[in-house]
């Protein structure tokens, strides 16, 4: 079955209808209506007999919900949020898209120390191979990512997980949290291998403003959900959860990661820090799946709760993505004020605007930037190449012997 792929050129609002084919009893979305004002509200489906006659046990009270009734779980009882059915039973499936993404991601195991780092170590410790600005690019990128993936993992585990009330999505969230731990491991492995000053890199989000601003933006969103008194079930709190998901999947993972990815992969195209770029490539593949999954969650919540997706919420989503882009452009300015070979702030800004437009389209919002073309088509090709089914049948060893992607200059 074809999976939704929000990060490829072919994914447009027109494909939303196809994507929804894998959802049980999908609410139809008109393919010719990309503007939010044209969206027709989906009908709210509430099974009164199975939900409203139960005591309000509180969301996330899995023990109480499990034994609230002797009736077996019915598919129509399951919901993205505010579900009171037993959450300990994966079957019957409702959100098949989440289960399929879980299965696909499970085939995708890799370990950072399976990628040899010796060539990069030699380059990093040699004089005259990397310019000072290229060194700063490597340090700033690794410094940002050294803590960024922990922010994502904590947002899932401490905030989002208990509020997403179906086992299919929870299963994927568990996997995603584990992958975020692996990514933190990979960045730590790069930093240690290259002999960098670890305390400098891991404290960068507190000591470098452009890094800290992005992290603070993300942490503010997490802090709303981790309040022990926070729960969904009201219009305001349901919107906060939706806002958090948009913040993390569309902005933190969907924009904040892309400058660093593009910078490191751009250097690899010039034959520099290729092993570090391989680590980033493996992480990019995971992150692209995370974004796709998150967009599916967001759009499914919108579909089941159309009252949440009003003009105010749409404006909030637009504002957040614009804020994220501005913070990422500031990071690019700070990281490479003069530019490095083949890359500068102007190109990066155009790329980020192109990416932001993709996020708007995925949320069925109007694009906000005049950025019709991707200045870094090799980024898309790399991500797409990683997603081919055959890729997942390979293992990391294939990459070590060059059986996957060739990193020679100009090949991508």
Catalytic center residues: 189
**Residue 385 buriedness (CB in 10 A; 0-12 / 13-18 / 19+):** middle
User: Which tokens belong to 372?
Assistant: 């019709």
Among 106-114, 227-235, 279-287, 404-412, the segment contacting Fe ion (CB under 5 A) = 279-287
Residue 343 backbone dihedrals phi, psi, to 5 degrees: -150, 135
Peptide bond into 187 cis (omega under 30): no
Q: Which residue has the tokens 């003009």?
A: 311
Q: Using DSSP, state whether 340 is helix, strand or coil.
A: strand
Among 105-113, 174-182, 185-193, 370-378, the segment contacting Fe ion (CB under 5 A) = 174-182
Residue 116 backbone dihedrals phi, psi, to 5 degrees: -65, 145
Among 78-86, 88-96, 289-297, 317-325, the segment contacting Fe ion (CB under 5 A) = 289-297
Out of 78, 139, 290, 358, the residue judged to bind Fe ion by CB under 5 A? 290
- Indicate the residue among 120 and 253 with the shorter CB distance to Fe ion: 253
Out of 149, 238, 296, 328, the residue judged to bind Fe ion by CB under 5 A? 149
Contact predicate 325/353, CB 8 Å: yes
DSSP codes, 132-198: HHHHHHHHHHHHHHHHHHHHHHHIIIIIIGGGS--HHHHHHHHHHHHHHHHHHHHHHHHHHHTT--H
In whole angstroms, how close is the CB of 384 to Fe ion at the nearest point?
A: 18
Residue 103 per-residue DSSP state: H
Angle ∠(283,373,380) on CA atoms, nearest 5: 20
In whole angstroms, how close is the CB of 130 to Fe ion at the nearest point?
A: 25
In whole angstroms, how close is the CB of 274 to Fe ion at the nearest point?
A: 21
Out of 86, 120, 134, 180, the residue judged to bind Fe ion by CB under 5 A? 180
- Indicate the residue among 253 and 328 with the shorter CB distance to Fe ion: 253
In whole angstroms, how close is the CB of 249 to Fe ion at the nearest point?
A: 9
In whole angstroms, how close is the CB of 371 to Fe ion at the nearest point?
A: 24
Which residue(s) pair with 343 in the sheet? 340
Residues touching Fe ion: how many (CB under 5 A)?
6
Among 148-156, 160-168, 192-200, 398-406, the segment contacting Fe ion (CB under 5 A) = 148-156
DSSP codes, 16-66: HHHHGGGBSSPPP--TT--SGGGPPPPPP---HHHHTTS----TT-HHHHH
In whole angstroms, how close is the CB of 168 to Fe ion at the nearest point?
A: 18
Residues in contact with 51: Cβ distance below 8 Å, sequence separation at least 6, in sequence order: 77, 84, 85
Binding mask 227-256 for Fe ion (x = CB under 5 A): --------------------------x---
Out of 78, 94, 139, 183, the residue judged to bind Fe ion by CB under 5 A? 183
- Indicate the residue among 231 and 292 with the shorter CB distance to Fe ion: 292
- Indicate the residue among 7 and 253 with the shorter CB distance to Fe ion: 253
Binding mask 43-82 for Fe ion (x = CB under 5 A): ----------------------------------------
Q: Is 81 left (phi over 0), alpha (psi -120 to 50) or beta?
A: beta
In whole angstroms, how close is the CB of 318 to Fe ion at the nearest point?
A: 23
Out of 86, 168, 287, 296, the residue judged to bind Fe ion by CB under 5 A? 287
Among 175-183, 223-231, 239-247, 382-390, the segment contacting Fe ion (CB under 5 A) = 175-183
- Indicate the residue among 51 and 185 with the shorter CB distance to Fe ion: 185
Q: Calculate the CA 309 to chain-centre distance.
A: 21
List of residues contacting Fe ion (CB under 5 A): 149, 180, 183, 253, 287, 290
């Amino acid at each position: 079955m074809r999976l939704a792929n929000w990060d490829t050129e072919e994914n447009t609002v027109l494909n939303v209808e196809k994507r929804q084919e894998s959802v049980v009893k999908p609410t139809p979305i008109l393919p010719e209506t990309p503007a939010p004002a044209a969206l027709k509200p989906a009908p709210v489906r509430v099974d009164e007999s199975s939900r409203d006659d139960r005591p309000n046990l509180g969301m996330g009270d899995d023990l109480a919900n499990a034994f609230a009734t002797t009736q077996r779980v019915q598919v129509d009882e399951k919901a993205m949020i505010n579900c009171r059915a037993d959450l300990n039973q994966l079957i019957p499936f409702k959100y098949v898209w989440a289960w399929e993404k879980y299965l696909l991601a499970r085939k995708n195991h890799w370990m950072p120390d399976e990628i040899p780092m010796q060539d990069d170590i030699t380059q990093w410790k040699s004089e005259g191979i990397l310019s000072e600005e290229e060194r700063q690019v490597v340090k700033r990128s690794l410094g940002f990512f050294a803590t960024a993936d922990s922010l994502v993992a904590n947002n899932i585990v401490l905030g989002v997980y208990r509020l997403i009330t179906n086992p299919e999505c929870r299963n994927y969230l568990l996997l995603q949290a584990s992958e975020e731990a692996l990514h933190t491991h990979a960045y730590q492995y790069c930093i240690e291998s290259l002999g960098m000053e670890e305390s400098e890199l891991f404290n960068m989000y507190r000591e470098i403003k452009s890094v800290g601003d992005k992290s603070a933006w993300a942490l503010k969103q997490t802090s709303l959900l981790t309040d022990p008194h926070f729960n969904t079930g009201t219009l305001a709190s349901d919107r906060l959860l939706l806002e958090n998901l948009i913040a993390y999947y569309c902005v933190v993972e969907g924009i904040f990661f892309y400058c660093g990815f593009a910078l490191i992969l751009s250097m690899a195209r010039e034959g520099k820090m290729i092993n570090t770029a391989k680590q980033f490539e493996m992480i990019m593949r995971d992150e692209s799946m995370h974004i796709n999954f998150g967009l599916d969650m967001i759009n499914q919540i919108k579909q089941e709760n159309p009252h949440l997706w009003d003009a105010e919420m749409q404006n909030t989503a637009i504002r957040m993505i614009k804020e994220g882009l501005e913070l990422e452009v500031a990071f690019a300015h700070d990281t490479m004020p003069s530019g490095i070979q083949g890359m500068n702030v102007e190109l990066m800004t155009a790329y980020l605007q192109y990416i932001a437009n993709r996020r708007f389209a995925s949320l069925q919002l109007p694009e906000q930037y005049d950025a019709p073309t991707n200045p870094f088509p090799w980024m898309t090709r790399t991500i797409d190449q990683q997603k081919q089914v055959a890729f997942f049948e390979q293992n990391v060893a294939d990459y070590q012997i060059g059986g996957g992607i060739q990193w020679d200059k100009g090949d991508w």
